[in-house]
Structure 1
């Protein structure tokens, strides 16, 4: 899947592409499943032109799982036939394809207990949640963490990681997701608009805003004196307000990629589960991505099957 210029869903198309000779430090994977992330269409829209550049066509897709077909020079920990999962770099997308070349540092062996679809759902959301919950919030048995948007891909992984490390988790979500997040151990669960109750339930050791909808000033008021507000949706205004406070922590998925081995281990133990809402054949990828981008998507992740 590719696009010939930045823009909306109409710019996507299927195309033929010949991969270059495999460079040292990279591996070539025959994709079995690829999970759709909002990042995928945001890059196509041009959200990170400074990184993705102006050379077209560009491939689409980040998170994938599949079977190693070829390894580049200097790699000793993968070999052809290994089952793996991982993510493509932002500047070299291309997981929505039959084959993808990836930096070997962003790929890891797939646990036998996970399907290809389950593994493909892990990299970006789980690495983001890890960077926020384990890296920034430092979740532990004495922690009380509030997660704004606890039912989404990042939010659900954040809940599972926080609880795995012994933290108490409260959160907010849409009414249709309340029952599911309660069953995941979030207590209490609030509506986004129930600000007074959210405040009374605190103060919190950390507030993790997965959606970018909680004003930083409001989030900071929910914290204990040494608490932190964790953000993954930076805007100039949010960053300025946050950094002035000294309790604002901005994290990205890239911060958590180094912890993929630990993430994979927890997933293999059944403590980190992917919620898959829809699996579709790769031939239907154009419509699936367009629907997701326009908000017409089921609860849970959408996975393309190759």
Structure 2
């Protein structure tokens, strides 16, 4: 079968289309004929080796994490799905990839595709949906009446996280360029800062949580808008000791991550805030709950561009520019 793979870690020229064997499944897995793949920023970073100490892959490796498609085969222990079911899933950090004609998906990672979404729309959801769910609902425990800061509101994570936060009953502050102000407002953002004209930390006040989605000094600046007993949940790092411990890393890695995160943790404590790093994990049950929100129209997919499979490399390059409004999706057929 055809797949988009990389054979070595390098900054460029390491991603190629390859013919690889069709995968075989274990008793608790399903084989999915992939119809569409949602791209995520981390898909552009993994081939460069940025996550090599964290994510273990056997090279050559297939790129991609999100998918939507039709079940082609089920393992002997699978009970939730049957051949012909339309499903969507994230297989991030599971050692396999989705940018291929077929993908292996653990039963525990998949959910039925909402019937009101096509495959492209469904493929745009899994990682941004699960990341937002795990960060806002599980980690920050967002409640009605709170104020949550979600920077870069027009991006893949931002467009979903804003909608989920509003569903949870909280108010949203975000940043966007002038051309994206109306988009983030249409998704429910209450306070919108044009980052080219204003510094968000000089305008926003008394927030209960920050979703860290932007690298650089944005997270440190965000501490200035928080009130006591607040949360910073970072998706961009630095990783902390709890993350290293959760992945069973050795003492050396725990020490390294402890040093990397010490500064932001110390600064957060000064204002009575808690810092933590979140690395999304696949969860079919959570994805099914997200699917119910999508089915009910309470959250809608936001898609910037759709590329055909033979232009998947161009799709990754486009995503890497950081200008996408919502998600970039590769359509297989």
TM norm. shorter chain > 0.5: yes
Tell me which of 160, 163, 166 is aligned to 1:160.
163
1:170 counterpart residue number: 173
Q: What does residue 141 of structure 1 align with?
A: 144
Aligned partners of 1:212 and 1:233 also within 8 Å: yes
Preserved CA contact (<8 Å) 2:111 2:285: no
Q: Tell me if 1:304 matches 2:308.
A: no
Is the 8 Å Cα contact of residues 51 and 91 (structure 1) preserved in structure 2?
no
What is the total number of aligned residue pairs between the two structures?
304
- 2:221 matched to which residue of 1? 218
> Which shifted more, 65-74 or 91-100?
91-100
Q: Secondary structure at the match of 1:181?
A: helix
Counterparts of 2:59 and 2:277, CA distance in 1: 31
Shift of 1:303: 1.3
- Structure 2 CA distance, aligned partners of 1:206 and 1:21? 43
Question: What is the TM-score with the length of structure 2 in the denominator?
Answer: 0.84
Counterpart pick for 2:234 among 202, 225, 231: 231
Deviation, structure 1 residue 296: 7.3
Cα 1:260–1:18, aligned 2, differ >3 Å: closer, same or farther? same
Mean alpha-carbon deviation: is it higher for 138-147 or for 156-165?
A: 138-147
Q: 1:55 to 1:92 in 2, by over 3 A?
A: closer
2:30 to 27, 32, 45: 27
Would the aligned equivalents of 1:128 and 1:255 in 2 still touch at CA under 8 Å?
A: no
Q: Counterpart of 1:40?
A: 43
1:240 aligned onto 2:243: no
Shift of 1:54: 6.4
CA distance in 2: counterparts of 1:51 and 1:220, whole angstroms:
27
Q: What does residue range 43-122 of structure 1 map to in structure 2 within 5 Å?
A: 43-53=46-56, 55-122=58-125
Change beyond 3 A, Cα 1:182–1:54: closer
Instruction: Verify the 8 A CA contact 1:130 1:256 in the aligned structure 2.
Output: no
Question: Which deviates more from structure 2 when the two are superposed, residues 224-233 or residues 237-246?
Answer: 237-246
* Match among 257, 260, 276 for residue 303 of structure 2: 276
1:5 aligns with 2:32: no
Kindly report which structure 2 residues correspond to 1:121-140, keeping only aligned pairs within 5 A, or say none.
121-140=124-143
Give CA-to-partner distance per residue, 1:99-148, whole Å, 9 cap, x none. Answer: 00112211111111111111101111111111222122322221111212
SS of residue matched to 2:307? strand
Q: Give the corresponding residue for 2:278.
A: 251
Distance in 2 separating the partners of 1:39 and 1:144:
28
Residues 191-216 of structure 1, C-alpha deviation per residue, up to 9 Å, x if partnerless?
33623x64443111112221134444
Q: Any idea what SS the aligned residue of 2:315 has?
A: helix
- The answer as to whether partners of 2:208 and 2:230 remain within 8 angstroms in 1 is yes
Question: Is 1:286 the counterpart of 2:313 in the alignment?
Answer: yes
* Larger deviation, residues 156-165 vs 232-241: 232-241
Residue number among 162, 178, 202 corresponding to 2:205 in the alignment: 202
Taking the aligned partners of 1:191 and 1:107, their CA distance within structure 2 comes to 38
Unaligned runs of 5+ in 1: none
Structure 2 residues not aligned, in runs of 5+ = 239-256
Hey, what's the Cα distance between the residues in 1 that align with 2:329 and 2:130? 18
Query: 1:254, CA displacement in angstroms?
Result: 1.4
RMSD: 2.1
Question: Could you say if the C-alpha distance between residues 67 and 20 of structure 1 is closer, same or farther in structure 2, counting changes exceeding 3 Å?
Answer: closer
* Whole-Å separation in 2 of the counterparts to 1:53 and 1:292: 23
